[in-house]
Amino acid sequence: MATIQLEAGRRARLSRPLPYEPLFETGRFILSAFVRPFAIFRSYRRSDLRPDLIAGLTVAVILLPQAIAYALIADLPPVVGLYTAIIAAIVGALWGSSAHLHTGPTNAASLLVLSTLAVLPYAHDSHAYVAAASLMALLVGIFRLAMGVFRLGVLVNFVSDSVVVGFTAGAGVLIMFNQIKHLLRLDVPNDPGLIDTARNTLLQLPATHTPSMMVGVGVIVMLVLLRRFRPSWPGPLIGVILAGAAVWLFQLDANGVHVIGALPRELPPLTPPPLFDLHLIGQISTGALAVAAIGLVEAMSIARAISGLTGQRINSNQEFVGQGLANIAAGLFSGYTCSGSFTRSAVNYRAGARTAMSSVFSGTFVLLAMFLFAPLAAYIPRTALAAVLIVIAWGMIDRKQMVQIWRTSRPEGWIMVATLSATLLLPLEFAVLTGILASLAYYVLQKSMPRVLDMAPTPDFRHFEERGDRDPCPQLGVLSIVGDLYFGAAPNVEEALRRHMAAFPDQRYLLLRMHNVTHLDISGLHMLETIVRAYRERGGDVYLMKLRASIYEFMKTAGFVDTLGEDHFLSEEKAISHLFYHVLDPVVCIYECPARAFFECQNLPKMLTSSSVCQAGNLKEKDVKSLSPADLWLALHQPQPPIVIDVREPREFSRGHIPGARLIPLSQLDAQRLNLDKGTSIVLACRTGRRSRIAAQMLMAAGYRNVCNVDGGMVAWEEAGLLEAIEEFV
């Protein structure tokens, strides 16, 4: 045995990670993360080129008008959106993990940029505004890159989908209201707030520009029809081209229809943002953190959704690195904040893309289009882009998903409603953080409230299930703890266990099933010690079963195994049989329990008397007087000692009884045939006092006025060290 233990200890030491291993693993991940493009190029096959080119061209057709429109949401020049589309698509694909996730400008990120930058004192200075947007992209990239480098991708899992759905729906509503002024060509100041925007828009409605409205409404109608009858066609591009053609043909720009103007023909210029403007960094850091968080959740949700169709394994930390580098590159090359786009990613997948090179090709095609068609942008009407954004924003409100969340999980539904309301009423950066904090609070609340289930055997006695309405065992409670026992959960579990104790005061023994407990800390251990003391004080005990090896080792190290006793840790197969034959009192099952809770109870005879006694005499346990063993010993040595009646079975009586006691088993006790005076002093005894209490109730119901019960029964008599008589029964 000693050899086996030494060998196990040696293996444990060998399997224990060395102190420098985490640093080594982090360094190896950083190296592999930053050389990701080499891995893509090395594994690229010629057969993937044609599908990736076709998919890249298809995505570019959608990306081109979206990049211009999304930049306008953020109140940025259209060319900034094109620069972002080019840089982010290429960098995000080469350093990301997903083969289909497309990175670039998005509507939600653009709205967050507007919400953060619109309140700056120099928001009307176009150069300073663009510089602030680039700085914000750089900060967002640093946040995301740091999370990837330090392998914190798991944190995204703590932000529920309800936060994303609620924020996206709220962002859709805000985008629609913010684009009405461009659709109708109203002179309304930029304001990301819903109330101010709606009020100012209503006040300016009489000044609606009819030609602009007609062009915009026409584009909306066309997009709705195309989405219904030709969903595979690039509706936004078609709508923008036709609107631009109408402006050129009818010279609508001369009639007051605003156009975006010609775009420059140049590569994205390297213009480092104001890195040393600490005041500006302080002003936009909160918004940058919100954009970083919501963007990562969106990107990972999209990547995982598509990987579920393709079977590709997604590395969340690598994706964080890709998203971080994409934003850093966009910030350095005159762009703004970017993220993963569900629409473009889905198109990329449906178009047959095989590798991340499809996104690289989409960015390249946008660059070529900017060189070839930049002058034609002079005819693109602003109202047409507003119409495109309104249709896209309406699609952001996922009503089906919202209804599903509300019906399936009401707490998640309230988180969604809270995030949606905060998005509409609060500054967007605080709305995002509010949703994330609400999601984290819900997670912590769930983790701090493990379920304590009252269990019973299944009808075939092979497994356990929730007891439901079935009668419990009067001696043994079987509870299952579902959740971890750490400092935040221990008080709630203790409260649940104490509620069970109060609900079943006769259950002196407790069996805890702990196979669902994966973590136990010192607070949880102290809670278990408290429960053990409580059960032992009431004359019972606590037993444990189905513990994980790590939990048992922790208990052993902390000394809890010695406190509880090695024999109190039971296997699942033998737990009930061991307790039934060595701990519980089977006589209770015979005389008091109408149920047959366990397999071992099935063949026991039932001689129930307690229910009829209580009903006939309308008596309660507290009405029965108790007499301590010491007081009974003194009473037996008085001139007129009481009559002691032992109501146990003959086998129990023969092993030891109170001297002078008369044996009348409870099943044979008949108060009418006792032939004693009703005023006779009678003391009843059994093993623990349960059966004798029932006998006392029977005699009291029959009119006997001077009846007592030995408190604690023969167990207490033996513990007091009093003499016993032993008889032989044949």
Contact between 103 and 340 under an 8 Å Cβ cutoff? The reply is: yes
* pTM, rounded to two decimals: 0.62
Q: How far apart are CA 730 and CA 728, in angstroms?
A: 7
CATH superfamily ID and name for 618-719: Rhodanese-like domain (3.40.250.10)
**pLDDT at residue 217, rounded to an integer:** 94
pLDDT of residue 14: 44
For residue 708, what is the enclosing H or E element? strand 707-710
For β-strands 339-341 and 682-685, DSSP reports them as unpaired
End-to-end CA distance of the chain: 47
What is the Cα–Cα distance from 379 to 381, expressed in whole angstroms?
Answer: 6
Buried b (16+ CB within 10 A) or exposed e, 168-184: bbbbbbbbbbbbbbbbb
Specify the pLDDT at position 10. 44
User: And the tokens for 563?
Assistant: 């406190």
Give which of 635, 610, 704 is closest to 644, Cα–Cα.
635
Angstrom distance (rounded) from CA 588 to CA 607: 10
601 is known as an active-site residue: no
Q: How far apart are CA 176 and CA 193, in angstroms?
A: 12
Residue pair 654/729 in contact by the 8 Å Cβ criterion: yes
Of the CA atoms within 13 Å of residue 161, those in its CB half-sphere come to 13
SS3 26: helix
Pick the CATH number of 472-601 from 2.20.25.90, 3.50.50.60, 3.40.50.300, 3.30.750.24: 3.30.750.24
Q: List Cβ<8 Å contacts ≥24 apart for 397-405.
A: 397/168, 397/169, 397/172, 397/173, 398/165, 398/168, 398/169, 401/165, 402/165, 402/166, 402/169, 405/161, 405/162, 405/165
Contact 359, 59 (CB under 8 A): yes
Whether the Cβ atoms of residue 671 and residue 701 lie closer than 8 Å to each other: yes
For strand 476-482 and strand 625-627, is the pairing parallel, antiparallel, or unpaired?
Answer: unpaired
Chain mean position to CA 83: 38
Cα 415–chain centre separation: 12
Q: Which of 655, 669, 539 is nearest to 591 (CA)?
A: 669
DSSP string, 148-213: HHTT-GGGGGGS-HHHHHHHHHHHHHHHHHHHHHHHHT--------HHHHHHHHHHHGGG--HHHH
- Set 338, 601, 686, 708: catalytic member: 686
Instruction: Give the pair of three-digit tokens for residue 599.
Output: 């397999």
- 3-class SS of residue 43: helix
Question: In the prediction, which pLDDT does 641 show?
Answer: 92
Question: DSSP character for 489?
Answer: T
d(CA 191, CA 196): 7
In which residue ranges of the chain is pLDDT below 50? 1-15, 18, 20, 610-619, 729-730
Going from N- to C-terminal start, the domains of the chain cover 50-266+275-443, 472-601, 618-719
